[in-house]
Amino acid sequence: MPNNNFIYLDNNATTPLDPKVLEVMMPYLTDMYGNASSSHRMGKQLKKAVDRARGQMGDLIDVNAEDIYFTAGATEAINLALQGLPEKNGKSKHIITVKTEHPAVLDTCRYLETIGVEVTYLSVNSFGLIDFAELKDAFKDSTVLVCVMHVNNETGVIQDIEAIADIAHENGALFMTDGTQAVGKLPIEASDYIDVLTFSAHKFYGPKGIGGLYVNPRIKLKTMLYGGGHERGLRSGTLNVPGIVGLGKAAEVAQYDMLPDSNRIARLRDILETQLLKIEGAYVNGSKGSRIYNTSNMRFERVDNDALLMVLNEICVSNGSACHSFVMEPSHVLLSMGCSTEQANTAIRFSLGRFNTGEEVKQTIAMVQKAVVQLRSMAC
């Protein structure tokens, strides 16, 4: 379902809605418009649809349906988890996270610091990976949580979250991961080692405005949104039934399409990257060996990324996180990996998805090659 007006290579920002998802949502946007908490016949039918979606999401990440909580998206889920953590040993809480986390984690942690929570921000190496020795040295008696994202939204770098979870648990801490870029793209068996996992439907071909979190049943988060006691008292508010149904269908589709998607998209990403690396002064940012299959973060020496985006006006790509797209500053992720400000300001993220084609990749290669030559000649 390509858009004839654009070549869309910004799937880490949001994915298009899969037609199969839209199809199952439509009755809940039209005829089945009731409230899932109502006790009448329609309400009961809507509750069944919500329960079915909860089960579909649980199946995708291998957890019990009752341990899934729906939210308006991953940002809300992250806030609920980080702000709702229980105390440990009666002391002020200590959280360990990483400098390259998504702003939803970093900004929440900075807020928590203002109310007495201590936060340690781990560094990363030039490949974007944390140092396990630094992680082990960061623990304190008051450490309640280690929060490390599974897949980085800007570089696609994959952290070894199973090993990190083991270290957290060995030190008596919980393990939370921002799974926004991983859920629906990579196999995840959350019940084995994850205590809290956050996700958002629009990152795996579902609708915007719906996401959630998995919470290990032995953990009791503090209520952050009071009202009608929805979502077992954790997050009050009338349920977004069309969104929840869409999320459930997207999760079901992901279970079947994940492997063929990953193989086909990886081939397209590798073709794109291989050809663009032939440009003089082109480099890949982050680990190539521990990276999700759809993402290529590249920098082109002597080419300002904002100028490149303007020239590539028919291609949707990104120069950083979509959540900070209007902030004119270099990527905090690339700076943390050791890039200079100048280098970070030459970086572009290409993120491919289910509906991209080989022809689109071919056109993108030609247009980027032409744009880089054009911009370098103008700078001389």
Q: Looking at the annotation, which residues are catalytic? A: 323
Cα(217)–Cα(170) distance, rounded to whole angstroms? 19
Q: Beta partners for 351?
A: 10, 295
DSSP, res 231: G
Strands 347-351 and 143-147 come out as unpaired
CB 154 within 8 A of CB 298: no
Mapping DSSP to helix (H, G, I), strand (E, B) and coil, where does residue 113 land?
helix
CB atoms within 10 A of CB 137: 10
How far is residue 147's CA from residue 372's CA, in Å, rounded to a whole number?
Answer: 38
Find out whether 191 and 64 touch, Cβ atoms under 8 Å. Answer: yes
Handedness of CA 111, 114, 120, 121 (dihedral sign): positive
Q: Is 172 in a helix, a strand, or coil?
A: coil
Burial of residue 214 (number of CB atoms within 10 Å: 0-12, 13-18, 19+): buried
Through-space distance between the first and last CA atoms of the chain, rounded to whole angstroms: 41
- Sheet with 282-284: strands ordered across: 282-284, 295-300, 347-351
Contact 285, 298 (CB under 8 A): yes
Contacts of 113 (CB under 8 A, 6+ apart): 119
Which neighbouring-strand residues pair with 119? 95
350 — alpha (psi -120 to 50), left (phi > 0) or beta?
beta
Residue among 30, 27, 21, 23 at smallest CA distance from 56: 21
Give the closest residue to 81 by CA, choosing from 182, 212, 201: 212
Residue owning tokens 């959630």: 212
